[in-house]
Every structure is written in C-alpha cells, then in structure tokens.
C-alpha cells in the first residue's frame, strides 16, 4: 500500500511539474479549477476569520485598557534583536529571501496561462460562496 501511495504521489508531482508543457487549455483549466476551489474556501472562511480577528482585537484592547496586559517595550525589542541574530546566523547573513525581479518575471511569463486561469477561477469561486 505504501508503494502504490508513493508511486501515485510521484505521478501527481511529475504531472504538476510539467504543466507548463501541456496545451494552453489544460493549463487554463487546471488553474481555473484550483482558483474556483481556493476562491470558494476563501469566501467561506474569510467571514469567520474576520469575526474572530475583530473579537480578538476588541478583547485585547479591553484587557489592555483594564491593565491586565503589560508589555515591556525594551524586552520586546531585545527579543526581536535576538530572533533576528538567530535567523541571520541560521540562514547565512543578510541574504534576501525575496527572489530577484528577473526571477519573478521569468516565473510569471512561464506560467501566465495557469495564473490567469487561477485568477479567473478565484473570482468565480469567491462569487459562488
């Protein structure tokens, strides 16, 4: 069973890696299908997320006003500096995690039909929710 699952996963990943070589209609269809699902899920979950976030902010503001929450600015700054040093040490200095403009342009051009289908599908999925 593990063998067949691994083989199936390999087939799916191989198919996803070669989408750029598929016909345009397939690229647009796959992007559109993924976009519809993403838009629908986002449309349904965004209402819950917005309500939860709003209630949490109101609750935190209430606790701050009543004095239940005390934040030491100096300790927060020290923790941020320590985290930054640890990340720089772990990831190798001041390397940027962002890709260069040329890399972004290359990715967008190579996947323009897939991304176009995804954007259109995302709007449709959000409208369906």
pLDDT in tens, 100-117: 888 889 988 888 999 999
pLDDT in tens, 33-52: 999 999 999 998 998 899 99
In the predicted structure, residue 7 carries a pLDDT above the cut 70: yes
Report the alpha-carbon distance of residue 54 to residue 30 in Å, rounded: 35
């Amino acid at each position: 069973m593990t063998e067949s699952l691994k083989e199936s996963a390999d087939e799916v990943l191989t198919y996803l890696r070669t989408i750029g070589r598929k016909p345009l209609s397939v690229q647009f269809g796959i992007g559109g299908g993924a976009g519809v699902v993403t838009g629908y899920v986002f449309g349904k979950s965004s209402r819950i997320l917005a309500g939860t976030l709003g209630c949490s902010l109101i609750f935190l503001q209430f606790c701050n006003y009543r004095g239940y929450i005390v934040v030491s600015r100096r300790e927060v700054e020290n923790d941020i500096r320590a985290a930054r040093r640890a990340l720089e040490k772990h990831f190798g200095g001041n390397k940027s995690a962002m890709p260069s403009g040329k890399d972004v342009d290359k990715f967008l051009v190579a996947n323009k039909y897939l991304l176009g289908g995804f954007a259109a599908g995302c709007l449709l999925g959000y409208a369906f929710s």
